[in-house]
Amino acid sequence: MFDAINKKGYKVLDALVNNAGEYADGKFDNLDVWEGQIKNIFMSQVYMSNAFVKKGRSKNIRKIINISSVYGIPEMGNPDAPHYSAAKAAVVSLTMNLAKKYGPGILVNAIAPGYVWTPPWKNTSKEELKACEDLVKIGRFIKPEEIATMVVELLNNDAITGEVIRIDGGLHLTYVR
């Protein structure tokens, strides 16, 4: 991908937004689901970050923004999808370690969304959607543009690195007592 970008004449890469992940639930002993979630969610962000660090060139401060999940924050793990939670937690750890290693030239942060209204939710039953909304303190799904607003803020701000910013509408408050 980076080679293709360079071939198109773009010689400067200031930012990478790593947004990968498909939620999969399943039994703990289903190793195929574990492998798929780790590859899809975590390893894709490792590969892209590695390429960005090596091939991205800029005179500016460069930025990596990883999209994790509220379920990747340790106290929030989802026992019905331990593979998803573990892969997203690995993204949180990757974020912290890249921020430590590559700062100040590359600032690395993560966003940990809660329930975001994206196409996969469209086939979900009304009952399940309502149950999710009832868990969220704002009483609704997060809009994709609300996540995008934070991405833009992180791209514009040179004073934030090594942070995981929760945008979950208060979902975490349901679990923290």
| pLDDT tens digits for range 51-94 | 999 876 677 789 999 999 999 998 888 888 899 999 999 999 99
Give the distance from CA 37 to its chain's centroid: 13
Q: What gap in Å lies between CA 57 and CA 82, rounded to an integer? A: 37
102 counts as catalytic: no
Q: Residue 73 region, left (φ>0) first, then alpha (ψ -120 to 50), else beta?
A: beta
Mean pLDDT confidence for 144-161? 97
* Residue with the two structure tokens 């331990």: 82
Give me the residues paired with residue 140 across strands.
none
Catalytic-labelled residue, pool 84, 102, 115, 175? 84
Question: What is the Rg, in whole angstroms, of the alpha carbon atoms belonging to the chain?
Answer: 17
For residues 33 and 36, give the distance between their C-alpha atoms in angstroms, rounded to a whole number.
Answer: 5
The yes or no reply on domain 13-112+145-167 and CATH 3.40.50.720 is yes
What token pair was written down for 16? 């990478």
Q: Please give the Cα distance from 103 to 109 (Å, whole number).
A: 11
> Is 8's pLDDT higher than 90?
no
pLDDT of residue 168: 96
Enumerate the domain spans of the chain: 13-112+145-167
